[in-house]
């Protein structure tokens, strides 16, 4: 198997409404799309998704230019692409009322034959029924990573638990894990997940960073942030973090390094790439970003953490 | 190495956690801060206590090396808080907050002249302002507040902030004071008023030190075995550990901001012990080595 990442899930056309009446329409989006972008700085990525006839070729070209294999993106000529409409308040906190038109995503994805050659597979947050059907197609030896989405945590909690039971690495937002377990303390809530048999858990906390649970330990992480950094658009931050994390892991799969160190660095890189994503609309900052920018900020992050 | 004066409330509290009530235990923002700071440098605790304040508690403070000569005994009852925590110790509810002798004038002992650092714990901002007016120039003054004062006397809290060199608030207070929901935005708003150093304590999320041009976020120490018993005084312990570290290193030849970062981590590590038992019980069983050991664990954990 190759030390690469396959990302399965949504590619969407997003409309993002900001508080001052400003709005961007039909921009690049989707959790799998963002994850693929995040991972592309570290390893080769196969993106598996469905799009409709209205999906811009320019987006696919940009993905290709970022080194992402889009042969797993199936274009449905008679369908519309998935659409999200997201609203933010003046501090860029997501407001209620996100509109979702799953459209072509409801068709279920077809995994290309080559998928079984990918050591890491990420199944992005989606209807758990569809996540499960993807997970069941995967081979032993493939590392299965999943994330969740609040909508499905509320609608189908039992199936979301089933998804977690079938995975190795889980990414979840702090509100989602509290909702799913009914436990406020994240440390306590995490034990519920480990009882389901997973091996790594990352709890994403937005501005507060993330917690990494692995091997009987918890590693608390701050988010990379600076006073002079301006937040512009948080859409896709979670996906980018996950992608960079898994991309780094996939790339360094053979590295003779203690597992916890590897996961630790993976999360640090995830938070660093996330900090770039938030600086501009949609995926624009990621398109002009190169590895050197990431490594430089990673070094700064390390300095911040040094005490 | 400099001494640190801690000026603030020492009280006799009732603490209610799910399934348990701890009655008449040591507490108060000044009390918790002094105990936490005592692991780092010589502490002079300045407070008013009533005639009902137990002698053995004073002895315990002395046992930690705290100078209690500034604790003035006044005829009457000690300050008393009765606080309850809900569900998972998250929500806080006050049954009683009786200031009693805490409202009497704070008498500053002369030995305060020897302290280069003073920490004034959460209190009525008018009392805090009065204290600061009486302090010598050149002393580094740190200050904390409480949500109830932001609600009732926001202007005076702001005035107190402006007079201090370092301001401590927790995330709820920062949000309440600024009207912002995100911590960085809240900090920017608060610092507009000319505050040079601001520490926002975020509980389980850690803490962030803000200077006029930089921010230094730090995670909180945690491990899976650490049981949370009583969160009372953790914010005060963080501030105490922070100020103790600062005072202890006042002559160290290191960059100022590095000392502040270190101080924040030591503050949170010290608070992580306070969390493990009710009142100051855990703090009475640990020593400097325990704190340094946990600090090293934390530092190792963050080494990338």
**Which CATH superfamily includes the segment(s) B4-301?**
Ribokinase (3.40.1190.20)
For B:227-256, CB contacts with A below 8 A are: 228
Angle between helices A157-165 and A128-137 in degrees, nearest 10? 20
Report chain B residues whose CB lies below 8 A from the CB of A216: 224
Query: Which run of H or E residues covers position A237?
Result: helix A237-251
Rounded distance between C-alpha atoms, residue A151 and residue A127, angstroms: 9
Residue spans of the domains in chain A: they are 2-305
Over the range A189-221, which residues count as b (16 or more CB within 10 Å of their CB) and which as e? bbeebbeeebebbbbbbbbbbbbbbbeeebbbb
A146 near A32, Cβ under 8 Å? Answer: no
Q: CB count, 10 Å around CB of A137?
A: 15
How much is the pLDDT for A254? 83
Q: What is the DSSP string of A127-188?
A: -HHHHHHHHHHSPTTPEEEEE--HHHHHH-HHHHHHHHHT-SEEEEEHHHHHHHH--SSHHH
Model confidence band, residue A215 (pLDDT cutoffs 50, 70, 90): confident
pLDDT at B90 over 90: no
Chain A, chain B: beta-carbon pairs less than 8 Å apart: 83
Give percent above pLDDT 90 in chain A. Answer: 90
How much is the pLDDT for A192? 95
pLDDT at B92 over 90: no
| Mean pLDDT in residue range A279-302 | 96
How much is the pLDDT for B137? 87
Angle between helices A259-277 and A237-251 in degrees, nearest 10? 140
User: pLDDT by residue (tens digit) across A129-142?
Assistant: 999 999 999 999 99
For B:277-296, CB contacts with A below 8 A are: none
The strand pairing partners of A255, in sequence order, are: none
A59 near A27, Cβ under 8 Å? Answer: no
Rounded distance between C-alpha atoms, residue B276 and residue B269, angstroms: 12
Residues B219, A268: C-beta atoms closer than 8 Å: no
Model confidence band, residue B304 (pLDDT cutoffs 50, 70, 90): low
B286 SS3 class? coil
- Which residues, including other chains, have CB under 8 Å from residue B200's CB and lie 6 or more apart? B169, B170, B171, B174, B183, B186, B187, B207, B208, B210
Say which DSSP state A206 is in.
Answer: G
pTM for the model stands at 0.93
ipTM score of the complex?
0.90
User: pLDDT by residue (tens digit) across B116-125?
Assistant: 999 999 999 9
How much is the pLDDT for A99? 87
What average pLDDT does the structure give for chain B? 94
**In angstroms, what CA-CA distances link B144 with A155, A188, A223, B183, B247?**
44, 31, 25, 17, 17
How much is the pLDDT for A256? 77
How much is the pLDDT for B254? 59
Residue spans of the domains in chain B: they are 4-301
User: pLDDT by residue (tens digit) across A34-93?
Assistant: 999 999 999 999 999 999 999 999 999 999 999 999 999 999 999 999 999 999 999 999
B75 SS3 class? coil
Residue from A222, A234, A294 whose CB has the most chain B CBs within 10 Å, to mutate: A222
B202 SS3 class? coil
Residue of chain A whose Cα is closest to the Cα of B226 = A187
How much is the pLDDT for B255? 63
Model confidence band, residue B303 (pLDDT cutoffs 50, 70, 90): confident
How much is the pLDDT for B275? 95
CATH number of A2-305: 3.40.1190.20
How much is the pLDDT for B209? 96
Residue of chain B whose Cα is closest to the Cα of A218 = B223
How much is the pLDDT for B242? 98
């Amino acid at each position: 198997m190759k030390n690469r990442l396959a990302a399965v899930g949504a590619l969407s056309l997003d409309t993002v409404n900001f508080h001052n009446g400003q709005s961007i329409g039909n921009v690049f989006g989707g959790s799998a799309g963002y994850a693929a972008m995040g991972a592309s700085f570290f390893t080769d990525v196969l993106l598996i998704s469905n799009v409709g006839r209205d999906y811009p070729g320019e987006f696919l070209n940009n993905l290709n230019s970022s080194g992402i294999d889009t042969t797993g993106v199936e274009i449905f000529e008679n369908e519309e692409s998935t659409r999200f409409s997201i609203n933010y308040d003046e501090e860029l906190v997501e407001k209620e009322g996100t509109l979702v038109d799953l459209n072509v995503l409801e068709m279920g994805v077809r995994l290309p034959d080559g998928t079984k050659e990918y050591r890491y597979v990420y199944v992005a947050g989606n209807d758990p029924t569809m996540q499960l059907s993807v997970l069941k197609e995967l081979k032993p030896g493939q590392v299965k990573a999943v994330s969740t989405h609040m909508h499905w945590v509320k609608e189908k909690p039992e199936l979301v638990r089933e998804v977690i039971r079938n995975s190795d690495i889980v990414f979840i937002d702090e509100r989602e894990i509290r909702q799913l377990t009914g436990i406020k303390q994240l440390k306590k809530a995490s034990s519920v997940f480990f009882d389901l048999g997973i091996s790594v858990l990352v709890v994403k906390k937005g501005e507060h960073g993330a917690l990494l649970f692995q091997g009987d330990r918890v590693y608390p992480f701050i988010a990379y942030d600076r006073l002079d950094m301006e937040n512009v658009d948080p859409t896709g931050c979670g996906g980018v973090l996950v992608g960079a994390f898994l991309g780094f892991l996939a790339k360094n799969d053979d590295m003779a390094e203690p597992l916890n160190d590897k996961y630790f660095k993976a999360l640090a890189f995830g938070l660093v790439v996330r900090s770039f994503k938030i600086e501009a609309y949609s995926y624009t900052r990621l398109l002009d970003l190169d590895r050197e920018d990431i490594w430089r900020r990673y070094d700064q992050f390390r300095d911040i953490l040094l005490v | 190495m400099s001494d640190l004066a801690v000026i603030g409330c020492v009280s006799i509290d009732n603490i209610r956690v799910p399934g348990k009530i701890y009655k008449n235990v040591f507490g108060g923002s000044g009390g918790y801060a002094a105990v936490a700071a005592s692991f780092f440098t010589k502490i002079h605790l300045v407070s008013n206590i009533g005639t009902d304040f137990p002698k053995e508690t004073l002895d315990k403070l002395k046992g930690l090396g705290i100078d209690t000569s500034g604790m003035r005994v006044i005829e009457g009852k000690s300050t008393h808080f009765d606080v309850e925590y809900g569900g998972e110790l998250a929500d806080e509810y006050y049954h009683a907050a009786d200031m009693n002798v805490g409202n009497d004038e704070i008498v500053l002992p002369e030995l305060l002249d020897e302290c280069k650092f003073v920490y004034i714990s959460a209190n009525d901002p008018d009392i805090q302002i009065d204290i600061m007016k009486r302090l010598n120039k050149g002393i580094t003054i740190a200050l904390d507040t409480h949500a109830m004062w932001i609600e009732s006397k926001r202007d005076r809290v702001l005035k107190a902030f402006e007079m201090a060199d370092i301001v401590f608030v927790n995330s709820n207070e920062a949000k309440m004071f600024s009207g912002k929901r995100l911590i960085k935005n809240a900090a920017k708003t608060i610092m507009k008023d000319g505050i040079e150093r601001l520490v926002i304590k975020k509980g389980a999320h850690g803490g962030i030190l803000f200077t006029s041009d930089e921010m230094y976020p730090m995670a909180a120490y945690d491990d899976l075995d650490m049981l949370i018993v009583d969160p009372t005084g953790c914010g005060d312990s963080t501030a105490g550990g922070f100020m103790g570290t600062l005072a202890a290193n006042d002559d160290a030849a290191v960059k100022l901001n590095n000392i502040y970062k270190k101080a924040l981590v030591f503050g949170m590590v010290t608070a992580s012990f306070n969390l493990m038992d009710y009142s100051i019980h855990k703090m009475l069983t640990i020593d400097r080595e325990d704190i340094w050991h946990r600090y090293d664990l934390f530092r190792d954990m963050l080494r990338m």
